A and B are shown apart, each in its own frame.
Chain A
Amino acid sequence: MSTTLFDKVWDSHVVRSVKDGPDVLFIDRHLIHEVTSPVAFLGLKSRNNSVLFPEKTFATADHNTPTINQHLPVEDPLSANQLKALEENSAEWGISHWGLGHQQNGIVHVVGPEYGITLPGATIVCGDSHTSTHGAFGAIAFGIGTSEVEMVLSSQCIMQPKPKKMRINVNGTLGFGVTPKDVALFIISKLTTSGATGYFVEYAGDVFKNMTMEGRMTVCNLSIEMGARGGMIAPDEQTFEYIKGRQFTPKGADWDKAMDYWKTLFTDEDAVFDQELSFNASEIEPMITYGTNPGMGTGISQNIPKAEEVEGDVETYKKSLEYMGFSEEETMIGKPVDYVFIGSCTNGRIEDFRAFASIVKGRKKADNITAWLVPGSHIVEAKIKEEGLLDIFTEAGFVLREPGCSACLAMNDDKVPAGKVAVSTSNRNFEGRQGPNSKTMLASPLVAAATAVTGVVTDPRTLLL
């Protein structure tokens, strides 16, 4: 029988199917961080449970860490306490812990792939909705709540109804200045933030085949922003090449055995999806958001749509534009900006910084812009230095910070002040996401760079010429 990539991976992890209920799904890799795990460990204790497979859980601190002076004690006592809890809980149960200052510390969805924790055909969960990132490797990866974190700690399983399946095909060739981030924002703008709720997505077609692993991670990362639990891409030679030889990747005979399995991970030719959508790459231009959810995006050369052109409640739409201080039919290009943020699990990898550098090279940061450049990990940070990108940034008036989630969710001090406007390479433009009453426009590293050097929303294609 023909099956999909998703079915192959899901079905092989079902320990038991509950009648008229969810599947008991075995989890191969569990990632934890300081914010969504402490209450799970408390629950474990209160029920007198233990961690069943400590070697399958990996801890890193990222959400609530400073991105400057990481060698100094964390000043905020609540944050320091949360970091301490992660360290102590990990030590108590024998879980590997990459805390602040550890060479392998970084954003959970950046370090997971870097160290080979992320593998094709695996089930991967984390108390973070952007766990969908790991789907780039052909894994079933999705975010969970804290109760489920406790479930995985105590039983290595969670209970989930099997989602429906959607395939999104993008064929053709991407235009000049169009990045994986634009592909994702384009798809979300077409589907809205709830268009894929209840589904698990497979991305297929030329565009994803030809995309780098880092680009695939950016696309899969944003699957949750259209409501999908996760998104995945069939593993190929590029995937195997990426993971080979990494710290936690199988070695020797185990690698050969794993490869035999991984090569079966594709959707059979006549497999059927519950929903299938196709787009042409030529429709996509550099994107930017104008509202307060990631579905409110448009091609950068376009104007803000009228309320009646958009699906959904008119009052909600108007409230959203009012928050941003925008009006229907306004043009996006030229809008004033105060902050630029490049980083996060969406766009905090080396290719993102290379893209940023390609535009700021030989130019200067605009005086009105405060810029935060935050690598996703120490590996990314080291590459930025090795490849000479840091020199380019310094020359252009930018400062590189230390790894962490930073202004993506603004739990630490990297907060955009009230009323200020940011162009951000992160994943969410919700009200106050980057700081109370701050305003966010989501975009690619190229758009962020173009904006950072001009001081206003700028089409990167005009600077790449």
Chain B
Amino acid sequence: MAYDKFEILKSTAVPLPIENVDTDQIIPARFLKATERKGFGDNLFRDWRFNPDNTPKEHFVFNNPIYKGKILVGGRNFGSGSSREHAAWAVYDYGFRCVVSSFFADIFRGNCLNIGVLPVQVSAAFLDKIFKAVEANPACEIEIDLPKQTITILESGDQESFEINAYKKDNMINGFDDIDYLTDMRDEIKAFAETRPF
């Protein structure tokens, strides 16, 4: 098993209503020097969370103890820029299992799915509802039901369904990944390679 199985997640959420959050903000390049996948959560949003002297930036949502949970809710076009999977690792390592946005950058979305973080894309209107609900009551819980492909704001009952392809959904529910799938295909791939011109 590549990562923990994902079925139903019920949690409070951390809101980050900023658009175009790029992976350089999620994890700045200077923290990519490790050769093991360890400790990236400490540097998640490093320069938004901490001052240069490493004191916490008071106004950043991560430093406000009333906001916590396993769901990160970001503005449109979340995860743009660099392909660094370290960004998804940092999100996971910090304790998030799900990122909700109205639009994801391709590579970040793929990286999340490959490591067991569920990207949930909702409509702009629903995203707004989540931001408003969490702002009004930070203890408000959100439920992500992967088998049913629904996201619900439990307080109001507002619900929306989300897309995920059947293969990836099955992987997430069972904790499988693409590497497991491809390893089983090695003979077929070797035969295919013979047909390539270069």
Residues of A within 8 A of B (CB): 15-16, 18-22, 24, 26, 28, 35-36, 38-39, 42-43, 47, 49, 52-53, 63-64, 76, 78-79, 81-82, 85, 119, 122, 127-129, 143-148, 150-151, 154-161, 163, 193-194, 197-198, 224, 227, 229, 250, 254, 257-258, 261, 293, 312-313, 315-316, 319, 409-411, 418, 428, 430-433, 436-437
Contact = CB atoms under 8 A, between A and B. Distances in A.
Nearest to A149: B85
Contacts of A64: 32-33
Contacts of A315: 17-18
B84 interface: yes
Nearest to A409: B29
Contacts of B33: 35, 64, 76, 78-79, 81-82, 411
A231 B86 CA distance: 24
B47 interface: yes
Given A38-B36, A227-B105, A411-B29, A313 B83 contact: no
Contacts of A43: 179
B186 interface: yes
A47 B181 CA distance: 13
B188 A293 contact: no
Q: Which of B24, B181, B182 has most A Cβ within 10 Å?
A: B182
Contacts of B32: 35, 63-64, 411
Contacts of A312: 19-20, 76
A108 to B, nearest CB: 12
B89 to A, nearest CB: 8
Nearest 3 CB-CB pairings of A with B: A21-B167, A20-B166, A145-B85
Contact of A22 (B77, B86, B106, B167): B167
Interface in B2-47: 17-20, 22, 24-25, 28-30, 32-37, 47
A158 B178 contact: yes
Interface of B: 17-20, 22, 24-25, 28-30, 32-37, 47, 52, 75-77, 80-86, 88, 103-107, 110-111, 114-115, 165-168, 177-179, 181-183, 185-186, 188-190, 192-193, 196-198
Nearest to A119: B198
Contact of B19 (A76, A227, A313): A313
B25 A430 contact: yes
B193 A428 contact: no
Given A147-B85, A437-B52, A156 B20 contact: no
A151 B189 CA distance: 12
A151 B179 contact: yes
B35 A38 contact: yes
Contact of A129 (B25, B82, B165, B196): B82
A445 B82 CA distance: 22
Given A129-B82, A198-B106, A411-B29, 12 more contacts: A21-B166, A39-B35, A52-B186, A52-B190, A128-B82, A145-B107, A157-B185, A194-B20, A227-B105, A229-B106, A257-B197, A312-B76
B189 A156 contact: yes
A293 B110 CA distance: 21
Contacts of B19: 312-313, 316
Given A194-B80, A293-B80, A15 B189 contact: yes
A430 B85 contact: no
B164 to A, nearest CB: 10
Contacts of B36: 38-39, 42
20 contacts: A15-B185, A21-B165, A22-B165, A35-B84, A42-B37, A85-B35, A127-B83, A129-B82, A129-B83, A129-B107, A143-B107, A145-B84, A150-B179, A151-B179, A154-B182, A257-B197, A312-B19, A315-B18, A316-B20, A428-B22
A431 B183 CA distance: 39
B197 A411 contact: no
Contact of B196 (A28, A49, A163, A430): A28
Nearest to A291: B20
Nearest to B104: A197
A159 B181 contact: yes
Contacts of B168: 21-22
A109 B42 CA distance: 31
A155 B183 contact: yes
Contact of A151 (B37, B105, B178): B178
Nearest to A15: B192
Contact of B179 (A147, A160, A193): A147
Contacts of B110: 144-145, 148, 160
